[in-house]
Structure 1
Amino acid sequence: MTTTPGTPSGPSAPDASGSTSTLERARAHSPRQLAAASVGNLVEWYDWYAYSFLAVYFATQVFPESESGLTQLLNTFAIFAVGFFFRPVGGLLMGALADRIGRKPALTATILLMGAGSLLIAVLPTYASVGILSPILLVLARVIQGLSVGGEFAAATTFLVESAPPKRRGFFSSFQYVSTTIGQLLASGLAAWLASSLSEGDMQSWGWRIPFFVGAGLSLVGLVIRAGAHETLEDAEDLRTGRTARPGLFDALKHHPRESLLIVGITIAGTIAYYTWTTYLPTYAQTYADVSKADSLQAGTIALVFFALLQPVMGTISDRIGRKPLLITFAAFFVVATVPLLRLLDTSMSRLLLVQCIGMVFLAMFTSISAAVNAETIPARVRASGIGFPYSLSVALFGGTAPYVGTWFKGQGMDSAFPIYISVLCLVSLLVYVFALRETAHKPLP
């Protein structure tokens, strides 16, 4: 079926021969589509988080010895930040690929890239054996993974929401963060198990490589599952053969500037709250409230399981009452409650767990539906690239920097500044939700 830009095409309209449309075929196999999107996202985030969990072990293998082991660790985390920088690039490039030739080829490319990056880290030669080439290869691996993660969100978000039945887009959207959280839990669980099973010397010499080999293997599993998925871009065949004009790389920004800015505004509160509550809060509790490392990690793990279970619940609620009520409630809560919640922290694990779980109830109101809201904001012709670049840029600027900003405030003696910083950013998004965002839950995809 050939469509031209601006021509309406119903999601289940038959083509000229009477056969069903691309979207109707995809939605007829929605469980398979859900699995294809979720497994790839799980693998992507397993690999992404494995790096941060294991950096403390391989830092000494990749960088030359220094008087302070902290220098080597800081170098390793600097390379971790390189991955965040390349996420917007990946969102733009892989999103454009998804818009120009189809969602399925883009999903194949992202999972192959992540597997290649993970395998490169797994076989990374040490600094002692190849010198400066070792950190150079690590940078290359993180660039590949950054491109992959940025592209994965763009392609998988689009694919996931387009595969959903019209009245269940919120529910399908919620599995974006179910799979993300499971990937994070698998990475932390395997890292913790290896650390407890192997000696410190074994972990530093070869044990840290195991999770990256596992990640490369999981990428192949995800690739096989995605091979059986159905394309969701209506005119993918015509785009590939040139019968329909392909969108340009920056068409989404050029023709839909309001929607692009809207995605940035939608994302700011979600990304700062997400990275603070799911990633940085255990470290924050150790730094500001003297919670022990073991207690903070245990509380964080329990809270993540709770967080994953909340996603489908919130997604289903949004399908019934709409997206805006959940987004407004989420942002308003963090504007008002961030400062008092973080002040509740003391040295006990139970207090940290309580603070995390309370925050995650409201955070899930955003994460469960962010994929749906983004996909419902941008037209299909430029949907993947239109989501991928502004979303990943917002994450890199406001989410990926959260641990650094929180630690910097502590170093400056401004202990109360970080919670206020979170509240101010959430206020920005709250204004967007109230005054700029239209309700899209019960409307067809644009």
Structure 2
Amino acid sequence: MSAFLSTLAVFAVGFVARPLGGLMFGRVSDRLGRKRALAMTVALGSFASLIIAVAPPYVMVGVLAYVVLFVARVLQGLAHGGEQPAAQAYLAEAAPPERRGLWSTLIYFSGTIGANFGLVLATILSAVLGQADMSTWGWRIAFAIGAVGGLFALYMRSRMSETEEFERTEAVIARERPSLVREMWVHRRSAFQVIGMTVGLTVSYYLWVVAAAGYSIAVLKADPTATLIASVAANTLFLVWLPLWGILSDRIGRKPVMLIGIVGLFALCLPLSAMIDGDPVRLFLAMTIAQVFVAAPCAISPAIMCEIFPTRIRTIGVALPLSIAIAIFGGTSLYLQTYLTRAYGPQAFSYYVMALLLVSAITVLTLPETRGRVLNDETA
């Protein structure tokens, strides 16, 4: 158990660096363009994965091995802190206003495909190599593949065109050079709304999409292969729910869809959490039911966040509060789940999640309805 908690602490290190990454690359995106920021973040993320893949083992260099991994996780955090907001801004500005809800689902759609690929790869490597080889060197293969995949993504992003909305505003931004502090103060309400939306969403996403399988294997001692298969199956269905919620939000509005998802998760959190007991079939059922509701806010929150900020600070306006919320609540969620379960019982973490979902629900009620909004530098 203590070894697993130590692993999760290292996992959280990357999240701590996210706010700085959001500040750095959010500023790049709003000053130099979405395309340039997306290219820089994927290059940095790929480089960090390569460092992890070739990092020397402890038996060779001692404590320096931990230092190398720490630095690589920090670089990953910097990249991820800027990448998602830049991608959200790009998609929001490129999408037709009447279909922005659908287009915004690509953020979590692509992320879940990546998570699924990682689970499938872990299943295959575990089956082929065995536990001993996986622990010794097999885990490096995934990071090497990630580094190569990042190079392909860099090539694809270099061929993208900049959004028309940014190009229309670029000259004004370059001439006026708006003060970041002043702009964030003016739009502080929107920034706090991003945090409020994110706290419940990020913990729910990591709980039901990312962490459920790893928690079952490491803490509940579930069968690794069967558990990973159950997780991949549930996550595959998650890809179906995302565009459906996006389409619905383009028809009935953002706020109703967000509230349906959050209230549904709040109501089902305790019974679904109780189903995670080490049995892969029950895990699949719990994940599938939960993900129907998780998909609602995941699908359209990228659109909402971009719709409440003007073009000149659309990326950094989202990046700073989003990365802070993810660092504080997302980065610690897996650690807290394990610790609270161990200290106070299996339902303790569920009450924590429900409290954060309540914050998110209240926040959504304060939002304006932004369905179909035309994005420009006056959007707010």
TM-score between both structures, scaled by the size of structure 1: 0.79
CA separation of 1:132 and 1:84: change in aligned 2, threshold 3 A: same
Is residue 2:369 matched to residue 1:439?
yes
| CA deviation after TM superposition for structure 1 residue 123, in Å | 1.5
| Post-superposition CA distance 1:76-114 (Å, at most 9, x none) | 443221101011211121111101111111011101100
Is residue 2:257 matched to residue 1:326?
yes
The correspondence of residues 13-412 of structure 1 with structure 2, limited to 5 A, is 74-232=5-163, 233-235=166-168, 238=171, 242=174, 244-285=175-216, 291-346=222-277, 348-412=279-343
| Matched AA of 2:167 | E
TM-score between both structures, scaled by the size of structure 2: 0.92
CA separation of 1:211 and 1:281: change in aligned 2, threshold 3 A: closer
Task: Name the SS for the 1:443 alignment partner.
Answer: coil
Task: Name the SS for the 1:125 alignment partner.
Answer: coil
Q: 1:236, 1:129 → 2: CA distance?
A: 53
Verify the 8 A CA contact 1:100 1:247 in the aligned structure 2.
no
Is residue 2:358 matched to residue 1:419?
no
| Matched AA of 1:358 | I
| CA deviation after TM superposition for structure 1 residue 72, in Å | 6.1
Verify the 8 A CA contact 1:100 1:236 in the aligned structure 2.
no
CA separation of 1:170 and 1:158: change in aligned 2, threshold 3 A: same
- Mean Cα deviation higher: 271-280 or 412-421: 412-421
Give the share of equivalent positions with the same residue, in percent.
Answer: 39
| Matched AA of 1:119 | L
The two structures, once aligned, show a CA RMSD in angstroms of 2.2
Verify the 8 A CA contact 1:319 1:442 in the aligned structure 2.
yes
| CA deviation after TM superposition for structure 1 residue 268, in Å | 1.5
Q: 2:225, 2:217 → 1: CA distance?
A: 10
| CA deviation after TM superposition for structure 1 residue 195, in Å | 2.1
| CA deviation after TM superposition for structure 1 residue 252, in Å | 4.0
Q: 1:299, 1:93 → 2: CA distance?
A: 38
Extract unaligned runs of 5+ from structure 2: none
| CA deviation after TM superposition for structure 1 residue 287, in Å | 7.8
Extract unaligned runs of 5+ from structure 1: 1-69
Q: 2:183, 2:207 → 1: CA distance?
A: 30
Verify the 8 A CA contact 2:219 2:338 in the aligned structure 1.
no
| Post-superposition CA distance 1:341-395 (Å, at most 9, x none) | 2234455432221111111111111111111011001111101000011111111
Q: Which structure's CA Rg is the greater one?
A: 1
Task: Name the SS for the 1:209 alignment partner.
Answer: helix
| Matched AA of 1:315 | G
Could you say which residue in structure 2 is the equivalent of 1:41?
none
| Post-superposition CA distance 1:400-438 (Å, at most 9, x none) | 22222222222223332221221111111111212x111
| CA deviation after TM superposition for structure 1 residue 74, in Å | 4.9
Task: Name the SS for the 2:167 alignment partner.
Answer: coil
Q: 1:72, 1:405 → 2: CA distance?
A: 14
- Mean Cα deviation higher: 263-272 or 338-347: 338-347
CA separation of 1:349 and 1:212: change in aligned 2, threshold 3 A: closer
Q: 1:288, 1:203 → 2: CA distance?
A: 19
The alignment of Structure 1 onto Structure 2 pairs a total of residues equal to 374
CA separation of 1:192 and 1:439: change in aligned 2, threshold 3 A: same
Task: Name the SS for the 2:367 alignment partner.
Answer: coil
| Matched AA of 1:234 | E
